[in-house]
Every structure is written in C-alpha cells, then in structure tokens.
Chains A and B, each alone.
Chain A
C-alpha cells in the first residue's frame, strides 16, 4: 500500500444559494497522477481553492500527510443554508492561509494563468524560493545571506534548464507565448519544493499536439521531482493517457471514481460529461 498524501472528507462549499462542492471525499496517494473531471461548474476549481486555503470550506476537512490541515463546520447563516448530513461533524475549526499550506508542501497552478507580470522568468521562479529561505529582512538587506541567495539562484537556474526555459530566463513572464507561460507556472510551483502539485486545466488553450507534449512533460516532472499530482482537465486524451485514477464531479457531487477505463465506460459519466464515448 502506497502512502496516503491527501485526504478530503465530506468537503462542502456554499456560495449564497449555490452548493458548489457537495460532500466531496477523495484521497491521493504518493506518486499518483489523479485527475478531477466533470462538467463546467461542477465545482472542481472550487475544490482546489478549498484545499489550498483560498476559500474556507463550509464543511468538511482536509488532511495532508496524515495531519489535519483544514476543518470546518457551518456557522451562523451557513448553518441554515447548509443542510448536508455531515453538518455536525468537524467541530474543530482549522484554517490555514494559502501561504501556510504552500509551506506544508502543496503547490498549485491557476485556471487563468497568474504570473508576476513585471518580473522576468527567472525572478518568477526565484520568488517561489523565498519561502524555504532562512533569512530576515536585516540579513537580506545587508547581504549577510549571500550564500543562501546564491544557492536559491543556482537551484532556480537548474530548474529552468530542466524545464527548457533557460533561454528565455530574462524575458518578462507575460511576453512568453501561452504554452511557455503554462510551463513556467508549473515550474514556479515546483520551485516551492512541493509534495503535492495541483494543476488546474494545464492544457487549456493548447492544440492536440501541444497537449500531447504536455502529457509527457507532466509524467516527466512527476518522476523527476518525486511529486504527486492532482489535476483538473477537460482534454480527455490527456486525462485517460496519464492518470492513474479519476474522480468525476457533477453539481458538486462525486458521481464516479476509478481507473481511466472504468470511467470511460461509466454510464453516469458518459451521460453527464463525456457524451458518446470519445472516438479516435
């Protein structure tokens, strides 16, 4: 049995009248590539946002590496709105800010690319190195930490080289073509030394050829950096090709779980999401 990395239990997220995520439970094991798929508006991005601390979930808990990281139960107005059967579970309230969660070892990319637009490619990656550095403003300002800074720079350069971004390291992040921006966003996330990497539609805006390359890229970084991957994706070729397991969401609810071939033939999934079985 491989080690369990991420466990989500009974996670719910409510916005006004919309129950965007409804009692979602899932887990991710060491070294896996797990895909989260589902129709538009099913709650996939919202689930990511809950796991990474951007939103405080209405109910449920998330543990990471065996430790409880997020836990909440409906309060106040939410109580009335939220009528899930687990509303009395998770009395303990734990909520970490996104930066804390990143420090614990979860890194992510965004559905709409979010790079630091006035920083160069190299600096974008360097920023991500900041959180692991042992320094104070004082030591940084007066260059008492130059060894550490040097190491961060070297590591970042190595990373860029491996990702094939070394040639563009001094260009502004936003003037890169779309595909490279995606790649940079992934590299930047990797620079935080994560255990778990969350990718939100990494192949959006790529053509089939590029998508294929991306698939190889993801597998490659998984092996090289020893990270576990949870990704949201609508490109079924990619999902079916590289994921070990797939979770399917619809209207916030989990409707199926299984290996690619199981999912491909699951009647609910076909109904809600895939339509006729993807041919050719």
Chain B
C-alpha cells in the first residue's frame, strides 16, 4: 500500500500532466486534425458511458434510457443559451420562440443535468420496481416518449419542434470537455467508492439480501437512477456544444446501444474501462476506419470490397470479435490504478535487478 498523501500527489500531477499535454498538442498540431475530434467526442462519451455504468454495472439496474436523458440535457442547454439575436433565425417557424432570456454556459450545463435528473425522478417512480429486461424496455420506451414529446409541435416555441437547434455557444478547445467530463467522472468515482457505492453493489448482487440488511431498495435505486441521469444530462449538454447543432431525432435507441457497447467493451463495472473504450470506440468509428469507405487503388490495382458502407461492416465485425473473445471487456471489473502502475514498475525493476 502506498501512503495516502503520496497517492493524492501522484494523481494530481498526472492530471496536471494530462492537461499540459493536451494544451501542448493543441498548440503544435493543426486544429483540423481528427485527433481532436476523437478527444472531444471521446471525453463526452466517456462521461455518458461512466454514468451508464453506474447504473447498469454497479447497481445492476438495466436501463436503456440514456439517450433520452442526454436529449433532455442537450435541449436544456441549447434552449437556454442561444443568444437572443439568433433566436429568430433558429426558431424560424415559431417567431423566435418564447424564451426571453439567455443563460451563461456553466449554469446552463448544470441545469441540463438537473432537468434530466428531475425527469429521472418522475420516471423512476413507476419503473424502478420493474426487474431486469422489463426495466430495460420501459426505460427505452420512456426515452422514445421523451423524444416524441420534445418534437411535439405544440412545444415548438420552446423546443423548435423537430427542427434543428443551433447557434448556441460551443467550445473550441479540447480542454473544455476534458475538464467538465473529468470533474463529473471524478465525482462518480467518489460516489462509487463511498458507502453508497457499496450499497449499490449489494443491490446488484442480491436484492432480497440487501433489503434484509436494512437497505431501502426504492430509495437507493432512485438515487442511482437520478445521479446517473444527472450526468447523462450534463453529457448531453456537452454533446450539443460539440456538435454545434442538435435535433431530437439523433437521440435514438441506437445512441443508447452505442453507449452500452462502450460500457461492455470497456468492462461492465470498470470506470477506467468505460473511459478507455470510449476513446477507442470513437477513434475507430470516426477516424481510423474511414479509409475503408473510399474506393482505393494501389497503383492500378482496385482494392476489392472497399467502397462506401464497408467501414461499418468491418466495424461491426470488430465489435463481434471483441465481444466473443474478450467477454469481460478490456478491463473486466478491474480498474486502472496508480497502485497498479506502481506495482507494474516495481516488478519491472525487480526483474531488472535480478538480471543484473
């Protein structure tokens, strides 16, 4: 065991180091590099995946409502931050909408989380009693209902009906999503390592035994659900900032499935796994595999198979391979920890010494 202060010190220096690295990267690399796309989007999906993991992995509540809560967050953020001057253009079919004020970005982001949490509170009431797949399909259903609700014509003056929302403030530096997502993930980690995290795991393992230990199931599940939704909402807000325009139709069940894929590939019950797999997932789907879509000639040789659509075929095959051969995901339930690295290096040194 490392002593606690030392551990904290190392953590802080790692974080500072990471941000310094990102800062330098932004200075030296062209801003159009796909690396930054991956870093920005990866950070956002890392947050959303971790929030889903809190629910599905740690509390054993199989929820598929993530996209719905992201939608709420994204819309809350967007609606509240579009500058007054641009509202007429955005709400072109609704005479500029009826929201007569604009909030600052941090406040809107927090509200994005809070509104999502409020929805979660209301939804959680009836559905959290449901078990496993029934819960999954009910939350999925709620996400679909939320989507239809936000597209409703009558709400047009607020939500712009089914049309795009845009012209709200965005971020240009990769440091921003890293900082926000980083803080949020840190809080989630603190929660999971607290006595509440233990209770969540107990509920996951055996509800009846947990109840017999004096744990109020309804309350604790609600708590996990609300917390997870809060962070999904913040993630939605960040996603809006990244995309610079949003539309309810994007927040479909397939988005939830994508997040679930990230969680499972990272390892259900591993935070660092979720984070790691988020970046890998985004990088391969948005960047590394793009070349497969282009018809390619090597000299005059027409590379077979490669044409539009091939990227997705390959990507799904990769997913299948990962799922079939790394059943527990990249990290299993383990975490990537400073102590782990420490142990790794100490072993390395020990070996070297032996060699000498």
Query: Once bound together, how far apart are the Cα atoms of A131 and B216, in whole Å?
Result: 9
Q: How large is the interface on A (under 10, 10 to 19, 20 to 34, 35 or more residues)?
A: 35 or more
Return the CB mask of A153-189 against B: 1 if under 8 Å, else 0.
0000000000000000000000000000000000011
Q: Smallest CB-CB separation from B214: which chain A residue?
A: A131
| Known A-B contacts A114-B208, A118-B201; A140 and B214 likewise in contact (beta carbons under 8 Å) | no
Q: Is A149 an interface residue (CB 8 A)?
A: yes
Give the shortest distance, in Å, between A56 (CB) and chain B (any CB): 14
Whether B214 and A192, one on each chain, are in contact in the complex, defined by CB atoms closer than 8 angstroms, is yes
Chain A residues closer than 8 Å to B190, beta-carbon distance? 141-143
Q: Smallest CB-CB separation from A153: which chain B residue?
A: B195
Q: Is B337 an interface residue (CB 8 A)?
A: no
Q: Smallest CB-CB separation from A127: which chain B residue?
A: B202
Q: Is A54 an interface residue (CB 8 A)?
A: yes
Of the candidate stretches A94-102, A239-247, A265-273, the one touching chain B is A94-102
Whether B195 and A152, one on each chain, are in contact in the complex, defined by CB atoms closer than 8 angstroms, is yes
Whether B214 and A117, one on each chain, are in contact in the complex, defined by CB atoms closer than 8 angstroms, is no
Give the shortest distance, in Å, between B173 (CB) and chain A (any CB): 28
Chain B residues closer than 8 Å to A277, beta-carbon distance? none
Query: Once bound together, how far apart are the Cα atoms of A257 and B287, in whole Å?
Result: 77
Chain A residues closer than 8 Å to B187, beta-carbon distance? 141
Of the candidate stretches A78-86, A103-111, A223-231, the one touching chain B is A103-111
Whether B223 and A127, one on each chain, are in contact in the complex, defined by CB atoms closer than 8 angstroms, is no
Chain B residues closer than 8 Å to A141, beta-carbon distance? 187, 190-191, 194, 196
Query: Once bound together, how far apart are the Cα atoms of A107 and B198, in whole Å?
Result: 19
Query: Once bound together, how far apart are the Cα atoms of A116 and B187, in whole Å?
Result: 25
* Candidate in B191, B206, B214 with the most chain A CB atoms within 10 angstroms: B214
Query: Once bound together, how far apart are the Cα atoms of A127 and B15, in whole Å?
Result: 32
Q: Is B213 an interface residue (CB 8 A)?
A: yes
Q: Is B28 an interface residue (CB 8 A)?
A: no
Query: Once bound together, how far apart are the Cα atoms of A192 and B209, in whole Å?
Result: 12
Q: Is A206 an interface residue (CB 8 A)?
A: no
Whether B208 and A137, one on each chain, are in contact in the complex, defined by CB atoms closer than 8 angstroms, is no
Query: Once bound together, how far apart are the Cα atoms of A131 and B187, in whole Å?
Result: 23
Q: Is B85 an interface residue (CB 8 A)?
A: no
Give the shortest distance, in Å, between B211 (CB) and chain A (any CB): 4
Give the shortest distance, in Å, between A54 (CB) and chain B (any CB): 7
14 cross-chain CB contacts under 8 A: A98-B208, A99-B211, A99-B213, A99-B216, A102-B213, A114-B212, A116-B206, A118-B205, A123-B198, A126-B198, A127-B215, A130-B199, A131-B215, A141-B196
Interface residues of A (CB under 8 A from B): 52, 54, 97-100, 102-103, 107-108, 110, 114-119, 123, 126-133, 135, 137, 140-143, 145, 149, 152, 188-189, 192
Interface residues of B (CB under 8 A from A): 187, 190-191, 194-196, 198-199, 201-202, 204-206, 208-217, 223, 227, 269, 333
